[in-house]
């Protein structure tokens, strides 16, 4: 992996919400999407992912339902809520602001 956890820390929820904004998805798929999108530079670890799902659900930002797969392993799908959409916008704005601040501070 090429970028450290500490830099990514705090973005996990935003990343997940951004994905769910496009379409409902499930853990395994979200993880693969992220790896693919970043050319394997960044991998969201499973334990990180699932603890983030729990937080997001507790905060009402996502809701979950089981897929109706008849073959293969079951899938737990996640969908973003209205609160989640609002949170996403807030997180995204914070990121834009933080980006400027950090850029400025590290020259």
Q: Which stretch binds DNA (CB under 7 A): 42-50, 79-87, 89-97, 98-106?
A: 42-50
- Tell me how far apart the alpha carbons of residues 105 and 107 are, in angstroms, rounded to a whole number: 5
Shortest CA distance to 76 belongs to which of 67, 88, 87? 67
Q: At closest approach, how far in Å is the CB of 97 from a copy of itself? A: 6
Give residue for tokens 């929820």: 13
Q: At closest approach, how far in Å is the CB of 107 from a copy of itself? A: 5
| Residue 105 near a copy of itself by CB under 8 A | yes
| Residue 101 near a copy of itself by CB under 8 A | yes
Structure-token pair, residue 85: 């959409």
């Amino acid at each position: 992996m090429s970028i450290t956890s500490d830099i990514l820390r705090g973005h996990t929820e935003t990343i997940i919400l951004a994905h769910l904004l496009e379409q409902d998805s499930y853990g395994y798929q979200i993880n693969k999407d992220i790896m693919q999108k970043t050319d394997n530079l960044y991998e969201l670890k499973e334990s990180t992912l699932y603890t983030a799902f729990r937080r997001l659900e507790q905060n009402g930002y996502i809701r979950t339902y089981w897929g109706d797969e008849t073959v293969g392993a079951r899938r737990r799908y996640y969908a973003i809520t209205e609160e989640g959409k609002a949170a996403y916008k807030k997180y995204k704005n914070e990121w834009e602001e933080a980006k400027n601040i950090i850029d400025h501070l590290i020259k």
